[in-house]
Each structure stands twice: as structure tokens, then as C-alpha cells.
Structure 1
Amino acid sequence: MSELPNPLSALGSAAGLPPGRLVTRDARRRLRRTRQEPVLWLSDGPVDAPAAAYPAPPGLRTVLLHDRHGPEEWWDTREFLRPEWTSAPDDHHVQPVLREFWEAVVPDPEEGREGEDLIAPFGRAWPGLAEAGRAREADPDAGADGLARQLIRDGSLGRPRLALVPAGRGADIPAAIGWAGPVNHENDTGRISAVLRSWEDRYGVRVLALGFATLDLYVPAPPRTLAEALPLAAEHFAFAPDNVCQGSGTVRDYAQEALIGSTHWSFWWD
């Protein structure tokens, strides 16, 4: 079966885009030959508007990349973008992926009361998926645009670049470029995108920006009560444990402080 053409390969000087270039990587070897395959298109300099403000040609998605934390211009270093190491999000189901993540980070029984407090009100067994968000923002496009502008304005994204990525849906952007941000927690970004797909379906999330090891999402349908937020906090702990362990301190506190009514989810991996 022949591969579908990469939409980046035919990308010329699309109207409405700033000056930019293709970022390429070695494609998989065929007939003992190595060829360069475009991974993403990147603006030459920083932009001052959300990615959604720029036109996305067919087959491509827009996102902001930034290097406020970590190595400068990490997208040009081969070890930080490895699409050839990434499985397809279609290969995974979110429930077993999050269960495996949870089992890998849940405290050992020997940690006693401190470990129990960290994940309370849950025990060490995977608590299952949270229910979908119910109340959605009236205009999610405007909400996502507003949050992205705020993050640019307050310096949270440093001096972000605009990127165009060949992806069928926003949740697949990290996997499509082989983003290595969560590598110390999970080295297959296809599994990360599988979780993002589920959050996209349940909460309407949109991938706004990727840093060296950070991820910013807009959330049109966040949980509104502690009861709704707690099982979602367990998912976040499994997905990015540093958010809890080096942030709020417990799953319960994280649910209260970071999730109830919050349209901005920000993740980082140490």
C-alpha cells in the first residue's frame, strides 16, 4: 500500500503566513536509502497572535512552539523530535493507557499515610475515566483565541513560533511531530495523543502550545464541581504526575485549585 503524500511536501508560500521553513528528519529506511521527510513548517521568527489566527492549508494543523523553558530552539535538535519512534494514536485505547500510567506513578504501600493522602479519595486501583464535561463555552473559538493571546501577552510562551503540522486532529499534533516533552514519563507520544483525543472528545480540549516539556490546552467544558473534578484530577496525575507531586501536592488539592471551572490546562514533565 502506498503512503499518502505529506501535505507539507507541497506547501509553498501560503497566503497569510509569515516567512518560514520546513523542519525535516530522516525518514524510515527503504531499500537501504535514507531520505529527508518534512516534519513541520516553522515560522522564521516569533509571532504575536494565536496559531488559530493563521490559515491552515488542507491536511495541516496550526500550533505554537516555544522555548521559554529548556534548550533554545529545541525543535532543531534531532533528539527532541522523533516521529519515527512514535506509534499511531489509533493503536491505543485511552482506558488501558491511563491505567498503565496510573499504576506506574501511584505511591507504593510502604509510603503509608503520606502516599494515601497524595491520591485520596482514591485507592491504589485505577479509578476509571471521568465523565465528559457538561457545560461548554458558548464560543470555543473565541475562548481559545483569548487564552492564547493572554499566554502570549503575559510571557508564558516566551517568543513563540508558528508551526504547521500534518495531523488529522489537534490532539494528534504531539504524535505527528514525535514531540519528546514527556519522555521521562512516557517515550511513546502516540499514547500521549491517545489521551488528548479522549479529552478532546469529552471536554473539547484544543492544543494551543508545546514547549520543550510543557503543554498548554484550552478547555471549553471544564468540570464545575469537586465531584466532577476529582476523577479528572486522577487522570491528570497519571498523565503528568509532576503537576500534582511538585504542584498542588495532592490529587484533591489539584482538583480544587487547577480544574474546577478552569479553561486552561497546563502540563509539564520534569
Structure 2
Amino acid sequence: MTTRSKPLTQLLTDPVGAVPGLSLPPGSLVTETNGGTWPEPLLWVADEVAAPRTWAEYLPARDAGLRPVLLQDEAGLEEWWDGQLDPGMVSDPDVHRAEEVLEDFWRSAASETEDDEDAGETIAPFTARWPGLASPGRTAADPEATAADVAQALVGHSLKSPRIALVPVGRAADLPAAIGWSGPVNYEDDVARLCAVLRSWEDRFQVRAIALAYARLDLSVAAPPQTLEEALAVAAEHFAFCPDNIWQGYGSIREYAEDALVGKAHWTFWWD
């Protein structure tokens, strides 16, 4: 058994010893898709649908080296995480720099937007040139408390049937890479590059990855932009990170910044 899987094994065999006061409902281990003869456990996931406060209840699992995350079933894709996770196809987030990743993404998205006759309006006030990273936000609340509040608001609403899962990972930003999630595969096949951006957002905006679906990511944000000017700079990063947020949800980066970012404690991304 490898070092990464020990927290999961300990939690399953001795949950009280691993995390005092924490008890697990019925659940199971999910292993690597291409794990070989001895597939390694990637995460533990509950059998039953989570309640609104479930995410907060499992936050103490951090003391055992585990991070909670909600896994959302999709219509026709129940239990997508069973047989769909392959960390062997993912690089290490350590080898990527967030700004280089975002600049690369920005150039690609901006070049595709140039084919649109309304391209200038879509990315205004920016041009095809990468505008650089947004300034850090001002922390408005405790990041873990914010994550718990956002998770509670999502369960039963935009997340209709999530399961609570526990992942052996040091920081929430690395969750997608740690389990080999492939949600943005039609846009980027190495999710570690996205995790490098999540690390930067974790540092600058106190984000936490709280939910994953087949092609959707939900983050809580304890230091969101507070003005339109600040939000525009963040919106440029979001456009690079997930262009579909603007292309398929809003008419422009400016509209997205005004409606989805100013003072908002929840960011969501969906890749077509």
C-alpha cells in the first residue's frame, strides 16, 4: 500500500482513531482506472446522497490528510467516477506556473473569439494580448467557513444528488489532479495545468474546490473581487480558464464580471 492511500485505509479501518468524533456512513473506495495488479485507492465515497451540512461535517478529516469534496452524478452518467479516474494521465501541478498556463489559454481562447464578428465586444476591455494576473482579493471571511456555507447552499439546488467523498491530498486545489479527473478533457487533457491555476486562486482569492461533476467544477471564494474593475481582471482569468463560462453563459467578459463575480463567494465552471 502506498503512502498516499494510507489515510484512506486508516479512516476505513479505524475512523475514530484517524479522526476523533468522525464516523463514516456506508461507502466504498474508488481506485485508479489503470491501477495495474494492485490498484491504489484514490478516494472514499459515500453510498448515500449528501445532506446540506455533510461537507462541513467531514471537514475535520483534514486532520488525517483527507479533503472532503462533493461528487455530483449527472443525468445518464451515474457514478461517473467509477472507471473514469486516471491520475496516470496527469502531470504534477508543481511543474506548471499559473500565469504561463493562463496566458497560453488566453491566447487560444482569444484567437477562437476573433472568428466572431463581435469579438471586440466579447473580450472588452481586453485585447488578444494577455492582460496578466489579477491582484489578490481582500479576505472577507474564513475560507473553510465560506466553503461550508457554499457547499450547504449548493446541495439540493444546483447539486441535486451529490455524494460526499474524501481524498488524500494536501490542498484542495490539487483535488482534480490527485484523482485524475478529466472533466475539461475537450478543452485541456492535463488537469494538472488547471490545478496550477487553482493553487494561484487559492493563494490570491482563498478559493476551495468543493464539488466536481462530470465536466463541472465548483469553488468557494473567501476573497472575491469587490469592485467591477477588480472583477474584470478576474473575469479575464476565468475566460482563459473556462471560455464556455462566457461563450455559453454571458455575452461578454464585462457582463460576466458584473453578474457573476463582484462580491460573489461561489465560482462555477462548466466545459462543453
- For the criterion TM > 0.5, the same-fold answer is yes
Once residues 40 and 142 of structure 1 are traced to their aligned partners in structure 2, the CA distance between those partners, rounded to angstroms, is 23
Which SS does the other structure have where 1:179 is aligned? coil
The residue aligned with 1:16 is 23
Deviates more, 1:9-18 or 1:60-69: 9-18
Shift of residue 90 of structure 1? 0.7
Q: For the Cα contact (< 8 Å) 1:107–1:116, is it kept in 2?
A: no
Shift of residue 148 of structure 1? 1.2
Change in CA separation of 1:121 and 1:65 when aligned onto 2, cut-off 3 Å: same
Q: For the Cα contact (< 8 Å) 2:34–2:86, is it kept in 1?
A: no
Which SS does the other structure have where 1:123 is aligned? coil
What's the C-alpha RMSD, in Å, of the aligned pairs?
Answer: 2.0
Per-residue CA distance 1:150-182 (angstroms, 9 max, x = gap): 1114x2111111111111100000110011111
Deviates more, 1:53-62 or 1:180-189: 53-62
Q: For the Cα contact (< 8 Å) 1:98–1:238, is it kept in 2?
A: yes
Once residues 139 and 36 of structure 1 are traced to their aligned partners in structure 2, the CA distance between those partners, rounded to angstroms, is 37
The residue aligned with 2:18 is none
Shift of residue 242 of structure 1? 0.5
Q: For the Cα contact (< 8 Å) 1:92–1:191, is it kept in 2?
A: yes
Shift of residue 28 of structure 1? 5.9
- Residue identity matched to 1:62: P
Shift of residue 144 of structure 1? 2.1
Instruction: Tell me how many residue pairs correspond in the alignment.
Output: 261
The residue aligned with 2:131 is 127
| Pairing partner for 1:81 from 72, 85, 88 | 85
Which SS does the other structure have where 1:6 is aligned? helix
Q: Give yes or no for the alignment of 1:214 onto 2:220.
A: no
Which SS does the other structure have where 1:194 is aligned? helix
The residue aligned with 1:181 is 183
Q: For the Cα contact (< 8 Å) 1:52–1:63, is it kept in 2?
A: no
Once residues 12 and 112 of structure 1 are traced to their aligned partners in structure 2, the CA distance between those partners, rounded to angstroms, is 53
Once residues 117 and 147 of structure 1 are traced to their aligned partners in structure 2, the CA distance between those partners, rounded to angstroms, is 32
| Pairing partner for 1:107 from 105, 108, 111 | 111
| Pairing partner for 2:152 from 146, 149, 152 | 149
Shift of residue 112 of structure 1? 6.4
The residue aligned with 1:40 is 43
Q: Give yes or no for the alignment of 1:91 onto 2:99.
A: no
Stretches of structure 2 that go unaligned for 5 or more consecutive residues are: 16-21
Shift of residue 5 of structure 1? 4.5
Once residues 225 and 49 of structure 2 are traced to their aligned partners in structure 1, the CA distance between those partners, rounded to angstroms, is 34
TM-score (norm 1): 0.90
Q: For the Cα contact (< 8 Å) 2:113–2:119, is it kept in 1?
A: yes
Shift of residue 50 of structure 1? 3.6
The residue aligned with 1:200 is 202
Stretches of structure 1 that go unaligned for 5 or more consecutive residues are: none
Once residues 139 and 184 of structure 1 are traced to their aligned partners in structure 2, the CA distance between those partners, rounded to angstroms, is 34
Q: For the Cα contact (< 8 Å) 1:144–1:218, is it kept in 2?
A: yes
Q: Give yes or no for the alignment of 1:163 onto 2:162.
A: no
